[in-house]
Chains A and B, each alone.
Chain A
């Protein structure tokens, strides 16, 4: 009997060893695919979220890799969004909480949503994906292979005297579209310095980027068209007065952008996004 047992052990070892050689996978240099898609990435984060700096760094990585195809918005909602130390700037907004509630179920932070799409082909069942930030790139890659059904163009006119910015969003259909299509307009700001929890420590001067400061449309968006032929366009106009709080370290027009996107009112999916600085 011992001989049979030893034979089986040896067979297992031999099988294991012979099967151990696999052709090594080559990792090619990164090349961004040619695409006219502009993807909306909403990063759910917070100043008291110890794992969120890794998410913020990954967002910057991806913006470096896809400078023309990605628009990032950092959503500082209530969960782990309170200041890392008392007295710090509080980046949480009602708009952030409204968006969190509108997009539905979530698990933790950092999490991200890409074009507000449920990637069920990747085993996702929520709009906010559950993978590590390093894996976010796969959702961008997938979206970049899809057709841009709409182009989004944003024009801004900033009045320094009354700190008002007039915004015109133009949506141009690239194919015949019918349904409930909605426009969303956001104001974001980068370069806000706060303390930030990071693993088991706190970063003293963390540069918060792409922070959602204001939502100028309803959380579900405003209907911009229900039917639009190829090549035709529709415009949406709005304006926003920037609070005069630069001495506090935020609401600095030079650091602010307007983000706009068109979504399908039925599915919440984003067709195309765009971003422009308030001051060029």
Chain B
């Protein structure tokens, strides 16, 4: 990040702003929210300013939301204020931080305070943190505070501590192979407020005896993790446990006072997550094997919160993060109640011209029901610096019933070949073309997508793309309730980007089909969008 220096002090900061101009299009389902009906324009922005001097780091961020659909894609949200401030000071080996803090322990399974602006997640911890450098290789930290929620905070308190180290073995001067470990250990505790407990008691006392439990104020989580690095091998392993705590299990059956049954109830159970990643990289070949098992690990600053709100833990996703429009159309959200998953990623580059990639991921619930499976292959050929061609095939199985709560729909099975061609006319001018075809009989049916992007470095990027519902599948009309095969719809996008040093302006006309949008491994179902998007970002 760039910055200003004055009297030994240093300013730095950044701005990010989005403006959406909503253009109603009932044909694609972009309608019936206030923005399409009468608000017409929505905006959100973040302006941050940081200053460092006299051993202090201070910063603050102004957040603004005006008729924004970022918090809730089906609604409108307006508010503004100081979204973040912090002060940090180092005193010898001790570093003191206060304010709104971002941090995590291990891979984040027991604690992660983070921000994902595309989903309006800002789980900063409002509190204090002490970091102490015990030696060159060992550090410890402890923190306490409350989790941020928009411009407010959840009343539960969060406390945690961790110890992280680095140990290196072997002396190359003696001909010994060098290897190292980075062990760590962390604990986190969440304590509900009296008001939160009173609400939980109110809920539980309406349960029949067979569903009742005694709620607890405290949940404790502990995690042990280590990274082993030995030559071409890197092995990360983490095991996390949480004590029994109340959480909402949407799959549990509740007996109701009226004599019926309903799906979903609060339960009090302990939980576990095991995660490991083994990588090998040498001489153009790379392989990564990952495995994860999750049992009852839904830990929140307020148990009554739903979706992505109030999450204290972050469980890493176990599928490839795809970037092409159609290969990224179906993406599995992490399941907190039960999930078993593995992923294999293989890469091979025999020379500078050719490279190959193959990825396989498989996700089931703990009963073995298939949730997601993906086979992804890619071959790339580079012709010096003049052009490059990339292509491959993706096969997916996606459980729409689970990920999108759509009853009695079959597993979505897709076959998606894709290609990307990049041609450099000169050192400054280049053309990139994408083509994808998704074949499926389920959900919306088959799609074709094409994109052309012309770049004039370093300032301009002009693009146009179209996503066309080539063979729409028969489905229920959400207006009439009738089963019908809709007409094919074209979803075009035109965009122009201007960049000047750290500043970037992006103007796009967008028609976007409904789908799952994932950011940072967290996903949510987004409705269709129709309109113009203008984005500005800069750092200074």
Chain A contacts for B534, CB-based, 8 A: none
Contact between chains at A82 and B266 (CB < 8 Å) = no
How many of chain A's residues touch chain B, expressed as a range?
35 or more
Q: Which one, B140, B206, B217, B407, contacts A30 given CB within 8 A?
A: B206
- A9 contacts B by Cβ under 8 Å: yes
- The answer to the question of B76 belonging to the interface, with a C-beta cut-off of 8 Å to chain A, is yes
B257 CB contact (under 8 Å) in A26, A54, A64: A64
Binary CB contact string for chain A from 121 to 147 against chain B (1 if under 8 A, 0 otherwise)? 001001000111111011001000000
Q: B266 to chain A: which residues have CB within 8 Å?
A: 134
What string of 1s and 0s marks CB contacts (under 8 Å) between B223-263 and chain A? 00000000000000000000100001010001011101111
Task: Give the size category of B's interface with A.
Answer: 35 or more
Q: Is the CB of B140 within 8 A of A8?
A: yes
* Alpha-carbon separation in the docked complex, A27 to B214 (Å): 6
Total A-B residue contacts, Cβ distance less than 8 Å: 169
Contacts of B154 on A, CB cut-off 8 Å? Answer: 123
Which residues of B (121-148) have their CB < 8 Å from a CB of A?
134-135, 137-138, 140
Judged by a CB distance under 8 angstroms, whether B519 is at the interface is no
- Partner of A28 from the list B152, B165, B205, B217 (CB cut-off 8 Å) is B205
User: B135: nearest residue on chain A (CB-CB)?
Assistant: A1
* A134, B407: Cβ atoms closer than 8 Å: no
- Choice from B75, B76, B201 contacting A25 with Cβ under 8 Å: B201
Distance in Å: Cβ of B410 to nearest Cβ of chain A: 11
Set of chain A residues within 8 Å of B135, measured between Cβ atoms: 1, 4
Within 8 A of A (CB), among B343-382: none
Instruction: Name the segment of B289-297, B321-329, B460-468, B478-486 touching the other chain.
Output: B478-486
Residues of A within 8 A of B306 (CB): 130-132
When the two chains form their complex, are residues A105 and B75 in contact, meaning their CB atoms are under 8 A apart? yes
B206: chain A residues within 8 A (beta carbon)? 30, 61-62, 65, 134, 137
Q: Tell me, in angstroms, the Cα distance from A130 to B149 when the chains sit together.
A: 14
Question: Are A107 and B262 interface neighbours, CB within 8 A?
Answer: no
B103 contacts the other chain (CB 8 A): no
Known contacts A16-B189, A82-B480: A137-B137 contact under CB 8 Å: no
Query: Which residue of A is nearest B197, CB measured?
Result: A25
Residues from chain B with a CB closer than 8 A to the CB of A161 are none
Which residues of chain B come closer than 8 Å to A24, judged between CB atoms? 214, 216
CA–CA, A89 and B376, complex, Å:
45
Known A5-B165, A25-B214: A200·B401 in contact at CB below 8 Å: yes
A60 on interface, CB distance cutoff 8 Å: yes
Closest to B183 in A: A5
Name A's interface SS.
loop
Contact at B74–A108, with CB atoms within 8 Å?
yes
B161 within 8 A of A: yes
Verify if B49 is at the interface (C-beta below 8 Å from A): no
Say yes or no: A51 contacts B405, CB within 8 Å. Answer: yes
Known: A22-B216, A134-B265. A82 touches B481 (CB 8 A): yes
Q: How far is the CB of B7 from chain A (nearest CB, A)?
A: 39
With contacts A86-B476, A108-B74 known, is A27 near B205, CB below 8 A?
Answer: yes
Contact B258 A61 (CB under 8 A): yes
Q: Could you tell me the distance between the alpha carbons of A51 and B480 in the complex, rounded to whole angstroms?
A: 21
With known contacts A57-B262, A105-B75, A25–B215 Cβ distance under 8 A: yes
CA distance A222 to B213 in the complex (A): 46
A99 at the B interface (CB under 8 A): no
- Asked if A78 is an interface residue, CB under 8 A from chain B, the answer is yes
0/1 interface trace, chain A 198-241, chain B, CB 8 Å (1 if under) = 11111000000000000000000000000000000000000000
Q: A62: nearest residue on chain B (CB-CB)? A: B206
Known contacts A16-B222, A202-B407, A54 near B263 by CB under 8 Å: yes
Contacts of A78 in B (CB 8 A): 32, 479
Q: Which residues of chain A come closer than 8 Å to B481, judged between CB atoms? A: 48, 82-86, 88, 90
Given A105-B34, A107-B72, decide whether A199 and B263 contact each other with a Cβ distance below 8 A.
yes
> Which chain B residues (393-407) contact chain A, with CB distance < 8 Å?
401-402, 405-407
State whether the Cβ of B457 lies closer than 8 Å to any Cβ in chain A. no
Q: Does A274 contact B (CB under 8 A)?
A: no
Q: Which residues of B contact A29 (CB under 8 A)?
A: 205
Any A CB within 8 A of the CB of B218: yes
Residues on the B chain within 8 Å of A253, using CB: none
Q: How far is the CA of A108 from the CA of B524 in the complex (A)?
A: 13
In the complex, the answer to whether B204 meets A27 with C-beta atoms within 8 Å is yes
Q: Find the B residue at minimum CB distance from A107.
A: B72
CB of B187 within 8 A of CB of A20, answer no
Q: Is B80 an interface residue (CB 8 A)?
A: no
From A12, A57, A84, A126, give the contact of B260 (CB < 8 A): A57
Q: A82-B477, A83-B481, A200-B402 are in contact. Are A12 and B202 (CB under 8 A)?
A: no
Residues of B within 8 Å of A15, CB to CB, are 187
Query: Is A117 in the interface zone, CB < 8 Å from B?
Result: no
Cβ contacts under 8 Å, B258 to chain A: 57, 60-61, 63-64
Q: Does A197 contact B (CB under 8 A)?
A: yes
Rounded to whole angstroms, the CA-CA distance of A185 and B322 in the bound complex is 53
Q: A57-B258, A199-B407, A200-B402 are in contact. Are A12 and B220 (CB under 8 A)?
A: no
Whether B199 and A138, one on each chain, are in contact in the complex, defined by CB atoms closer than 8 angstroms, is yes
| Chain B residues with CB below 8 A from A80, complex form | 478
Contact between B138 and A1 (Cβ–Cβ < 8 Å)?
yes
Interface contact A50-B407, CB-CB below 8 Å: yes
Q: Determine if B217 and A138 form an interchain contact, defined as CB atoms under 8 angstroms apart.
A: no
- Residues of A close to B243: CB separation below 8 A: 20
User: Is B320 interfacial (CB-CB < 8 Å)?
Assistant: no
B437 at the interface (CB under 8 A from A): no
- Report how far A84 CA is from B407 CA in the complex, Å: 10
Q: Mind listing 12 A-B residue pairs with CB under 8 Å? A: A22-B216, A27-B205, A50-B406, A60-B256, A60-B260, A61-B256, A65-B257, A82-B480, A107-B74, A108-B74, A123-B152, A134-B203
* Known contacts A4-B134, A54-B262, A57-B262; 9 further A-B pairs (Cβ under 8 A): A8-B163, A19-B218, A19-B220, A60-B260, A78-B32, A107-B72, A130-B306, A132-B304, A134-B203
